[in-house]
Structure 1
Amino acid sequence: MLIVNSASRRGRETFDQARDRLVELGVSLTAAHAVDDPSTLPQLVQETIDAGARTIVLGGGDGTVSSVAPQLCNTQVALGLLPTGTANDLARTLGLPTDLMKACETVAGGKAVDVDLGVVGDDRFLNVSSLGLAVGVTEMLNPKLKKRLGALAYPIAAVKAYRRFVPFSARLEFPDGDHPDVELDDLLQLAVANGRFYGGGAVVSPDAGIDDHLLDVYAIPRGTPRQRWQVARHFVSGAFTENDHVYHVTTQNVRVSTNPGEAVNVDGELSARTPVDFGIVQGGLRVIVQADATVGV
Structure 2
Amino acid sequence: MSELRTKAEHTKAIRELRRVVLVVNTRSRRGRHRYFEALRLMQAEGFRPMRTYAVMDPSRLPEILIEALDLQPDLLVVGGGDGTLSGAVKHVAHRDVALGVLPLGTTNNFARSLGLPLDLAMAIKVFSRGKVADIDLGMAGDQPFANLASFGVSVEVAGTVKPWLKRILGRAAYPLTALSILPRHTPFRAAITVDGRRHELLTHQLNIANGRFHGGWQIARDISIDNRRLVAYQLGSGKRLRLLAETLVRAAGGRWRSLAGGPFVTGTEMLLETDPPMPADVDGEVLLRTPLTIKAIPNGLRVMVPPGFVDT
Instruction: State if a TM-score over 0.5 links the two structures.
Output: yes
Contact 2:204 2:243 in 1 (8 A): no
Match of 1:77 in 2: 97
1:210 and 1:115 map into 2 onto residues whose CA distance is 6
Deviations 1:5-29 (A, max 9, x none): 1110111211111111101210131
Match of 2:258 in 1: 240
Cα distance, 1:157 vs structure 2: 1.0
2:162 and 2:245 map into 1 onto residues whose CA distance is 27
Deviations 1:229-281 (A, max 9, x none): 4786479333424813xx62111111212233212122233232222221111
Match of 1:13 in 2: 33
Query: Match of 2:264, SS?
Result: strand
Moved more, 219-228 or 260-269: 219-228
Match of 2:294 in 1: 278
2:111 and 2:186 map into 1 onto residues whose CA distance is 32
2:293 and 2:25 map into 1 onto residues whose CA distance is 29
For the pair 1:3 / 2:33, whether they are aligned, the reply is no
TM-score, structure 2 normalization: 0.85
Deviations 1:164-213 (A, max 9, x none): 21101123234xxx2412443x31111110000011x2222332110111
For the pair 1:222 / 2:238, whether they are aligned, the reply is yes
* 1:215 alignment partner AA: L
1:228 and 1:60 map into 2 onto residues whose CA distance is 30
2:204 and 2:145 map into 1 onto residues whose CA distance is 22
1:226 and 1:259 map into 2 onto residues whose CA distance is 20
Which runs of 5 or more residues in structure 2 are unaligned? 1-20
Match of 1:95 in 2: 115
2:55 and 2:113 map into 1 onto residues whose CA distance is 25
Match of 2:153 in 1: 133
For the pair 1:206 / 2:221, whether they are aligned, the reply is yes
1:56 and 1:137 map into 2 onto residues whose CA distance is 30
Cα distance, 1:228 vs structure 2: 7.0
Contact 1:9 1:147 in 2 (8 A): yes
Contact 2:234 2:258 in 1 (8 A): no
The residue correspondences of 1:1-297 to structure 2 (distance < 5 A) are: 1-174=21-194, 178-184=195-201, 186-199=202-215, 201-220=216-235, 221-223=237-239, 229=245, 233=249, 236-241=254-259, 243-244=261-262, 248-291=264-307, 293-297=308-312
**Percentage identity across aligned positions?**
37
Query: Match of 1:258, SS?
Result: strand
Query: Match of 2:100, SS?
Result: strand
* 2:50 alignment partner AA: T
Moved more, 255-264 or 31-40: 255-264
Deviations 1:118-171 (A, max 9, x none): 111111111111101222322331212112221121221121122221101123
* 2:198 alignment partner AA: D
Over aligned residues, Cα RMSD in angstroms?
2.2
Which runs of 5 or more residues in structure 1 are unaligned? none
Contact 2:106 2:166 in 1 (8 A): yes
TM-score, structure 1 normalization: 0.89
Query: Match of 1:68, SS?
Result: helix
Contact 1:172 1:254 in 2 (8 A): yes
Q: CA 1:103 to 1:255, structure 2 compared with 1: closer, same or farther past 3 Å?
A: same
1:227 and 1:47 map into 2 onto residues whose CA distance is 44
* 1:39 alignment partner AA: S
2:227 and 2:269 map into 1 onto residues whose CA distance is 14
Count, aligned residues: 289
Query: Match of 1:53, SS?
Result: coil
Q: CA 1:107 to 1:227, structure 2 compared with 1: closer, same or farther past 3 Å?
A: closer
